[in-house]
Structure 1
C-alpha cells in the first residue's frame, strides 16, 4: 500500500491549556490523504479547521499526536528539516491571496522558487507556464492591484504550486469571492490539482464545492468524521 501524502494521528490542540479560559480545539483528530486525492474539510467558522491546516502544514505543532508528510514523521525531524519540508513539499492557499503588492503576478509566482534556489530563468519560465494554465498568461506583468479578486486568487494558486509540492492545503480559498467567480476559480484550482497529480486538503463550508472533491470529512467535537 502506498504511503499517504498526509497522515494525522491523534492530533490534539488546546489554547491556554490548564487555565480557566482553556479552549480545546482538537481532541484526537485522525486523517489520511492519499496520493492524488482531494479531500474536503467541512466545518463552520470557528470549528478549528484553520488550526488543523496549520498543524498539517507545519506552521503550528500539536499538543499530542503525530503529523507525517510523505512518510516522514515530523516530530522526529529537526527544525531545519521541517522548514525544508514545509517549503518544498507543502503549498498553501488562504482565503485572502496575500500576494506581494509591489511585485507582478509572474514575480509573485517566481519568488518561492528563487527562495528554494532555482535560477531566475527557470523560475520565470515555470511561473509563466503556471499562469497560462489558469488563463492568466496575458496578465503576468500586472501587479495585484490591477487584477480582479478572482485573478488574484488564481495567482495565489500558482504560487502555491510553484515548488511542485506533494500536498496542497487550502483554507476557504474562494471564501472572499462572489458565487460565479468562486465557481470559476475553484474550477481552475481543481484543474491545476488534477493536472499536477498532487494531494489536497481544502477547507470549505460550501457543500456544493465540497461535493466536487473526492472525499469529504467534517470537523465534529474536535475530531474528524466522514461526511
Structure 2
C-alpha cells in the first residue's frame, strides 16, 4: 500500500527549449507528501513554485519525470481523466480568490459540489459546515463584493475543500492580505486542513508561516532542497 498522497519524481520543465531565452524552471525535482502532512514550499518569485504546483495538480505536464497521486501514476493520463482527478481529488487555492461575483459565499461552495454529482441538500450542509469551521457562517448569504479580503479568501478555502479532495495545493494563499489578516486566515486554513486530514503543499514567501507547517522545502533556481 502506498503511504503517500502525492509523489513527484525527477520532474524537469524547460520553457523555450533550445532557444537563446531558454529557461530551465525545474531540474530534477522530487517531493513526497503523506496524508495529514502540511509541507511549506518556500521560493522567491520566478523560482518555479507555480510551475511545480501546476504539474503536481495536473494542470501542466513535465518534460520528464512522474506525478503519482494516491498510488496511481498520473503522468500519461488523457486530458479527460486528468480533469476528473482534479475535480474530485485535488483542491487548489490561489493568491486571488477567484470567487464568482454573482453568487453568494454559500453558492460558491455549493456549485462545485453540484457539478460533482452531490445533491443540493448535502452540498448546502457541507458548505455551511465549512463556513462555520473558518468562522464566517453568518456571511453565507453575502456576495464576494460585500466580504472583506480575509473573508473572501476563507470562502475560497472552503470552496477548494468542497469536494473533499485528498490533496490541497495552495499558491501564496495569504499573499494579498495584510500581516494581521494573513495570520488569521492562515490559522483558518490550517484548521480546515487538520480537520480533514488531507495532504497539503502550501507555497509562501513568508518564512514565519512556513515554520508553522510540518516541514519546509525550498525551491531555488529549479532545484528543491530541504530546509
Q: Quickly name the TM-score band, shorter chain normalised.
A: over 0.9
* Per-residue CA distance 1:158-207 (angstroms, 9 max, x = gap): 00000000000000000000000000000000011001101100000100
Offset, 1:3:
2.5
TM-score by structure 1 length?
0.98
Cα distance, 1:220 vs structure 2: 2.1
Asked if the contact 2:2–2:71 (Cα under 8 Å) also holds between the matched residues in 1, the reply is no
Deviation at 1:35, TM superposition (A): 1.0
The match for 2:54 is 54
Contact 1:4 1:33 in 2 (8 A): yes
Q: Separation in 1 of the partners of 2:172 and 2:186?
A: 10
- Aligned partners of 1:30 and 1:223 also within 8 Å: no
* Aligned position for 1:16: 16
Q: Deviations over 1:73-113 (max 9, x none)?
A: 01243322211111100000000000000000000001110
Q: Where do residues 31-42 of structure 1 align in structure 2 (5 Å cutoff)?
A: 31-42=31-42
Task: Find the counterpart in structure 2 of residue 177 from structure 1.
Answer: 177
Query: Corresponding residue for 2:146?
Result: 146
- Residue 125 of structure 1 corresponds to 125
Is residue 5–residue 167 contact of structure 2 (8 Å, CA) maintained in 1?
yes
1:207 corresponds in structure 2 to 207
Q: How does 1:156-175 map to 2 (within 5 A)?
A: 156-175=156-175
| Deviation (angstroms), 1:221 | 2.9
Matches within 5 A, 1:108-123: 108-123=108-123
TM normalised by structure 2 equals 0.98
1:45 corresponds to: 45
Alpha-carbon distance in structure 2 between the residues aligned to 1:82 and 1:169: 16
* 1:90 paired residue number: 90
Contact 1:35-1:198 at 8 Å conserved across structures: yes
Structure 2 gap ranges (5+): none
Cα distance between partner residues in 2 of 1:205 and 1:32 = 21
Length, aligned pairs only: 227
How far apart, CA to CA, are the structure 2 residues paired with 1:77 and 1:20?
A: 32
Deviations 1:114-142 (A, max 9, x none): 11111111111111111111111100000
Matches for 1:183-194 after TM superposition, within 5 Å: 183-194=183-194
Over aligned residue pairs, what C-alpha RMSD do you find?
Answer: 0.9
**Aligned-residue offset at 1:2:** 4.1
Q: Secondary structure at the match of 1:30?
A: strand
**2:64 matched to 1:64?**
yes
